[in-house]
Structure 1
Amino acid sequence: MKLYRYLTGPDDASFCHKVTDAVSKGWHLFGSPTYAFDAETKSMRCGQAVVKDIDGVEYEPGMKLSDY
């Protein structure tokens, strides 16, 4: 099964740590990062898709993807 997650966060070190944590757990960057202005908070937000292949596990809609 291929898992997909879209990580988002403020444009600061916490976002970089979130992506670094996922990559260190075997997730792979998928596509280009995104960068957008959040008008509500008047700040920039970052996003990055990550994917991971998991053998022997069937997808369930209720599964917590970050556990992998």
Structure 2
Amino acid sequence: MSVEDSALAYRLITGPDDRSFCERISAALAEGYVLHGGPAVTYNGAAVICAQALIRPHAVASADAAVANAVQKLVDPEEFDGEGIA
């Protein structure tokens, strides 16, 4: 599978508030995405337009683990003695 073919960790689906929009969201949920927050709606003068963010749970978990690992590496077990401050 190429990079272009791999599933995105995050998707934002937008479109008119109609059956097609709901079908696109349903298809993404069937692919393993989960809703990320609530939908956003606006009116463009002619129709209601919706937006819904979706994420892949494993991508979020691995990102959270990477952040936790990076933070842990920043923690110095020895107390800073002030040496080297300009």
Structure 1 length as normaliser, TM-score?
Answer: 0.68
Computed over aligned residues only, the root mean square deviation of the Cα atoms, in angstroms, reads 1.5
CA distance in structure 2 between the partners assigned to 1:38 and 1:27 by the alignment:
28
**Matched residue of 1:21: which SS?**
helix
* Structure number with higher relative contact order (C-alpha < 8 Å, ≥ 6 residues apart): 1
Gaps of at least 5 residues in structure 2 are 1-7, 60-86
Bigger strand fraction: 1
CA distance in structure 1 between the partners assigned to 2:35 and 2:19 by the alignment:
18
Larger Rg: 2
Q: Given residue 51 of structure 1, which amino acid in structure 2 is its aligned partner?
A: I
Structure 2 length as normaliser, TM-score?
Answer: 0.55
Bigger helix fraction: 2
Of 16, 25, 28 in structure 2, the residue corresponding to residue 10 of structure 1 is 16
User: What percentage of aligned pairs have identical amino acids?
Assistant: 35
Gaps of at least 5 residues in structure 1 are 55-68
CA distance in structure 2 between the partners assigned to 1:43 and 1:5 by the alignment:
22
Which deviates the most, 11-20 or 45-54?
45-54
Any residues of structure 2 matched to 1:1-68 within 5 Å, and which?
3-39=9-45, 42-52=46-56, 53-54=58-59
